[in-house]
Amino acid sequence: MQTSTDPADSNVDLGPAFKWPIRVYYEDTDAGGVVYYANYLKFFERCRTEWLRSFGIDQAILARDQGLQFVVAQIESKYHAPAQLDDELLIEARVVGLGRCSMTFEQIAQRAGLALASARIKIACVDSRRRPARLPEVIRAGFRVRNVKPSPSANG
């Protein structure tokens, strides 16, 4: 995947990839019998949501209690091979960039080790007025445990 020039998104190892298994259902496929391209973005979203849950973050409660939400700010995706009905896929999410108000993920959808789709996705944390907001402390603390600090020159 292409790297970003944003200092907050430098290629650093922020821990192991989070993995989430899924199965392809009929609703995920198109008329040709393969996974519709946009559904990979849904798979990636679900994996990131479960990654947040692994930190104990419920997005509905975060929005209600702290007025914070996560939004996709940028995405670059590539499709390598098709998935089909009933395939078992493994979706991975790895944080490769951490800013004050954003995280950058590299994600991959694979079947039996074969890359099907990949993406680099920048997620921004915003407040209830959709303005950039500092990442929740529980996420930042999780990275501090691994001795990873946000880029000091990063705006978000």
- The two tokens of residue 6 are 């944003």
List the beta bridge partners of residue 117: 79, 109
Buried b vs exposed e over 98-127: b needs ≥16 C-beta within 10 Å?
bbbbbbbbbbbbbbeeeebbbbbbbbbbbe
Active site residues: 30
Helix, strand, coil percentages (3-state) for the chain, rounded to 5, are 25, 35, 40
Task: Identify the CA nearest to 47 among candidates 98, 112, 118.
Answer: 118
Query: Which residue in the block uniquely carries the two structure tokens 């702290």?
Result: 66
